[in-house]
């Protein structure tokens, strides 16, 4: 096995930027939604690096985590241009689309078979429910997939809560048209979380439902450094402040805090 090196990391970064540049206009600008995803990808790469360092991984594995984080959402770019939406259920599974892009661009061939598969798995399955992730993936692929899922969740939670505090996440409906900017909470969403510790995006109806989903993500944080970063960012406190003070929400937050 050949671990990722500085050179292969640079190759991945250069390819990522060249690929994203295809979606820029003549002035060099991305559509606002894709600029958001571009910056998100960079922050997920940074989160992945911090988590990997917190796990005391080797320098080569830290580079692998960072590289996986950078390209994890590559499928979002053609998805948005084609459909003007990030709602997978109505468009395309952006994880599967991302893997298709990697293979079409022949990115895995620049790495040994194991590293190429780790990158491809992180991209393809980062957005899946745990129950939908194949059980026959190699241990190292599962490890990096879980790390990227953590890094992704951290940035989405932080970004959404900043937007909710700033303007009620007014642009959410542009990206996910089926979600209203209403601050009402759909009772069935909390009931589903309390029963299953997860919720389907397709069941979300309002911004507050979306925030409740973010709370459920604490059940699927895999590594201690991830939970430490979430604490540093005060994410759970910010989520609690944005949710209504109901008994179901209190029960949910108490259960989450018990597991931290």
Domain annotation for the chain: domains and CATH numbers: 6-156 (1.10.3210.10), 166-259 (no CATH)
Structure token digits, residue 152: 């992704």
Distance of CA 70 to the CA centre of its chain: 11
Question: What is the Cα–Cα distance from 78 to 95, expressed in whole angstroms?
Answer: 12
pLDDT the model gives residue 196: 92
Can you read off the two tokens belonging to residue 205?
């109806």
Instruction: Tell the residue number behind the tokens 């507050």, with chain if given.
Output: 208
Separation CA 31–CA 38 (nearest Å): 10
Q: What is the pLDDT along the chain (260 residues), one digit of tens a residue?
A: 346 788 888 899 999 999 999 999 999 999 999 999 999 999 999 999 999 999 999 999 999 999 999 999 999 999 999 999 998 989 999 999 999 999 999 998 888 888 999 999 999 999 998 989 999 999 999 999 999 999 999 999 999 999 898 887 877 666 676 788 888 999 999 999 999 999 988 889 999 999 999 999 999 999 999 999 999 999 999 999 999 999 999 999 999 998 87
Residue 199 to residue 166: CA distance in whole angstroms: 25
Cα(173)–Cα(184) distance, integer angstroms: 15
pLDDT of residue 2: 47
| pLDDT at res. 3 | 64
Predicted pLDDT of residue 6? 80
pLDDT at 5: 80
pTM of the model: 0.93
Check: CB of residue 216 under 8 Å from CB of residue 193.
yes
């Amino acid at each position: 096995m050949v671990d990722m090196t500085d050179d292969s990391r640079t190759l991945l970064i250069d390819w990522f930027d060249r690929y994203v540049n295809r979606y820029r206009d003549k002035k060099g600008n991305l559509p606002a939604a894709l600029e958001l995803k571009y910056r998100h990808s960079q922050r997920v790469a940074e989160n992945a690096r911090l988590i990997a360092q917190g796990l005391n991984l080797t320098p080569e594995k830290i580079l692998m985590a960072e590289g996986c984080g950078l390209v994890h959402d590559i499928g979002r770019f053609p998805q948005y241009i084609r459909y003007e939406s990030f709602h997978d259920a109505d468009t395309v599974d952006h994880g599967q689309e991302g893997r298709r892009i990697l293979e079409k661009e022949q990115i895995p061939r620049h790495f040994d078979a194991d590293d190429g598969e780790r990158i491809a798995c992180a991209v393809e399955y980062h957005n899946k429910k745990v129950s939908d992730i194949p059980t026959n993936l190699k241990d190292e692929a599962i490890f990096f997939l879980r790390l990227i899922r953590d890094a992704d969740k951290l940035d989405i939670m932080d970004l959404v809560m900043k937007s909710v505090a700033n303007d009620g996440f007014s642009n959410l409906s542009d990206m996910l048209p089926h979600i209203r900017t209403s601050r009402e909470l759909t009772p069935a969403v909390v009931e589903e979380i309390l029963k299953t510790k997860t919720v389907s995006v397709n069941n979300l109806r309002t911004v507050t439902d979306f925030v409740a989903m973010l709370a459920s993500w604490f059940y699927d944080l895999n590594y201690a450094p991830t939970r430490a970063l979430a604490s540093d960012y005060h994410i759970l406190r910010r989520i609690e402040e944005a949710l209504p003070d109901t008994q179901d929400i209190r029960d949910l937050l108490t259960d989450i805090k018990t597991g931290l």
